[in-house]
Structure 1
């Protein structure tokens, strides 16, 4: 692949992951354990949807096939999505949601921090703006990990169960591929090994303060969000998220 095609794939990964994580968080609307948490979750979700639009707008311009960001969000099938496997997993109870959010935030922060110095000015600008929001996201989710992990016996037990449930999907957070390596060498993308090192350090620090053990490194398995090989959960999520645009393709709002 040439750099143009690599860049499109990279932008889709960033945009799709933010979009799907934002959609998952918005599923808590009317269901969160407290009103303050519902408002916070919706705000984080909307931040991520806004970031997704910026990445997908750029990807659509590079694709130059007549599609825009909305088309990429609402009119692609499951196998065309490039989001992290972690973010498509169901919300579960609040412990699962918090663990998912924290693992993603710790990765997302490091990626955006690196991208804010990208040689691609468009990427650097989007990342610098998003980094301000994700700094808050990471602080918030990290505090919740500590609060629940070092809280009651029940909250600690649920956090252990949540980590056990989603940890295997962290494999994509600490392993890059050829696309990322080529773009990193060109100064465009974040270096996967540097992101992984910083991510591990952040997770270890927060888990230690939360009295939670860090599991052994996750191993590769047959699924890969980068290659469009998703879990069964993404198709269900997309069926709900994409229903209106697909049912009424000519509608305007």
Structure 2
């Protein structure tokens, strides 16, 4: 059970840390000043979630590692984040589509996890749920604004939805690790969130005059440490300071 819990918490931490890193790349480059601050705040929410989860993962592991070592001193194949969160920012529409897909899943996920029999995970989820509600509202509003905007913004938003859709299937995968923890009342069964996730997306995309892609083949591998080509470049930037100055602390 300890190994399964460590793996589960680490996956959640990696999701949050990598998405926080991607969103942080917009700092100073967003289309408006307000959105520059807005995306930075969303990034910080994810980094905060990652810190709490990495700290708990280190406690569960019991091998003397801390949050910094888990985030900054693991190699690419050791990361267990889903492929969706590591996808490059692309244009603004692609960033928004990525956030919409992820937040529409994480809001009900955190809501369910507040009922976990693991007190620490339940407490982390209670805080993250409030943040995810804002993340989903922010991404939904932008999706509608772009989809129901100009012909150009509509085209780009639909292309972003279509491009990232094949990376969403991994959100609902449940291996032996998840099944063991679900049976123990610790984890959330992701399959139970699919219907609500699709309903949320359908509602937002309908208002945005966009089309929900058809179900089909999905990318997978992130949970097993098999990542996209761009992931190594992301890690080289995210981990530079700690590797250049070993033992560096804030």
TM-score (normalizing by structure 1): 0.96
Shift of 1:177: 2.1
- Whole-angstrom distance in 2 between the partners of 1:216 and 1:175: 18
> Corresponding residue for 2:45?
47
Q: The residue matched to 1:58 in structure 2 has which SS?
A: helix
Who is 1:101 aligned against? 99
Number of equivalences: 250
Runs of 4+ off more than 3 Å: none
TM-score normalised over the length of structure 2: 0.97
- Following the alignment from structure 2 to structure 1, what is the Cα–Cα distance between the partners of residues 70 and 217? 30
Is the CA contact (8 Å cut-off) linking 1:170 and 1:218 kept in structure 2? Answer: no
- Quick check: 2:20–2:43 contact (8 Å CA) kept in 1? yes
- Are the equivalent residues in 1 in contact too, given 2:104–2:136 (CA < 8 A)? yes
Kindly tell me: are residues 178 and 218 of structure 1, through their superposed partners in 2, closer, same or farther at Cα, counting changes over 3 Å? farther
Q: How does 1:160-239 map to 2 (within 5 A)?
A: 160-221=158-219, 223-239=220-236
For residues 216 and 108 of structure 2, the distance between their equivalents in structure 1, rounded to whole angstroms, comes to: 19
1:25 and 2:23 equivalent? Answer: yes
Q: CA deviation at 1:252?
A: 3.1
Q: Which runs of 5+ in 1 are unaligned?
A: none
Q: Distance in 1 between matches of 2:216 and 2:112?
A: 24
Pairwise CA RMSD: 1.1
Contact 2:2 2:61 in 1 (8 A): no
Q: Report the Cα offset of residue 191 of structure 1.
A: 1.3
**Structure 2: gaps of 5 or more residues:** none
Q: C-alpha displacement at 1:13, in angstroms?
A: 0.9
Partner of 2:7: 9
Contact 1:113 1:131 in 2 (8 A): yes
